[in-house]
Amino acid sequence: MHIAEGFLPPAHAIAWGVASAPFVVHGVRSLTREVRENPESTLLLGASGAFTFVLSALKIPSVTGSCSHPTGTGLGAILFRPPIMAVLGTITLLFQALLLAHGGLTTLGANVFSLAVVGPWAGYAVYRLLRRYEVPLMVAVFSGAFVADLSTYCVTSVQLALAFPDPGSGFLGALGKFGSIFAVTQIPLAVSEGLLTVLVMRLLVQSSKGDLTRLGVFLADKRPGTRAETEAVAR
């Protein structure tokens, strides 16, 4: 899921860094504003970052029989929103590169673009869209996590195909090559991550409604005679 250190030529590494920069800067501004207005949110955001890091370290059983790691981008985007996820994802990827030797520093820009920008935004867009049409929460959560996971791998395939075009059929051949290799493992993995995210969200709805309300996954409903909280896409 992560492009390894030194895998991309220098021009590609720089270009993906430049492509990721506006999203990360936007996220940093949102985070800085949030922390200045509510200083206590530093700890909450740090806890969110730690949760994202730990989530990406969990092993999930894949349909193919092997084990793999969830990206956590779908759940992260639904809980913390994509701009914040761009920053938390960047911090997580930096930690993974330096503490676990997963990914790399020269490929950080490319990995941020796929895992911390496109994945969260695509997953969150699907989640919001489905919630707008009043699709049940868990269906929207599954779809968001599935799309976030799959879009991450699609972007990674594009990044690799651009860096290593096929000698015979160029970019499209390479895209087919990397895409088909990823599809064997990643489509089942995306389904697995979607199911895991639904199960986690179901437990969170039961045990942590207060935190979910604070994060905006639920809106506190103050109208008399209605349920104390209504599911909503708050922002």
Partner 1 sequence: MLPIDAAAHSSRWRRRHPVDKAVLGLGLTVLAISLPPWPGAVLVLVAALGVLLGPAGVSPRDLWQAYRVPLGFCVTGAVTLLVQVGGPGGIVTLADGGPVRAGELLLRTSAASLGVLLFAFTTPMSDLLPRLVKAGVPAPVVDVALVTYRMSFLLLDSVRRIREAQAARLGHTTRAAAWRSLAGLGSTAFVRAFDRAARLQSGLAGRGYDGTLRVLVPEARVSVRFVAVSVMLLTALTTLTLALERPLS
Distance (Å, rounded) from C-alpha 179 to C-alpha 159?
11
Distance CA 149, CA 143 (A): 10
Q: If we measure between CA atoms, which residue out of 59, 58, 27 comes closest to residue 45? A: 27
- Binding segment for partner 1 (CB under 8 A), chosen from 15-23, 114-122, 128-136, 203-211, is 203-211
Q: How far is CA 173 from CA 31, 168, 169, 185, in A?
A: 41, 8, 5, 19
**40 touches partner 1 by CB under 8 A:** yes
Does residue number 133 form part of the binding site for partner 1 (CB under 8 A)? Answer: no
Size of the site for partner 1 (CB under 8 A): 71
Looking at 18, 21, 22, 60, which residue binds partner 1 (CB under 8 A)? 60
Among 20, 71, 73, 106, binds partner 1 (CB under 8 A): 106
Q: Which CB sits closer to partner 1, 132 or 214?
A: 214
For the chain, the residue count is 235
CB 7 within 8 A of CB 104: yes
Which is closer to partner 1, CB of 147 or CB of 217? 217
| Binding positions for partner 1, 179-198, rule CB under 8 A | 181, 195-196
Task: Closer to partner 1 by CB, 129 or 211: give it.
Answer: 211
> Which of 185, 144, 219 lies closest to 61, judged by CA?
185
Query: Under the criterion CB under 8 A, does residue 125 sit at the interface with partner 1?
Result: no
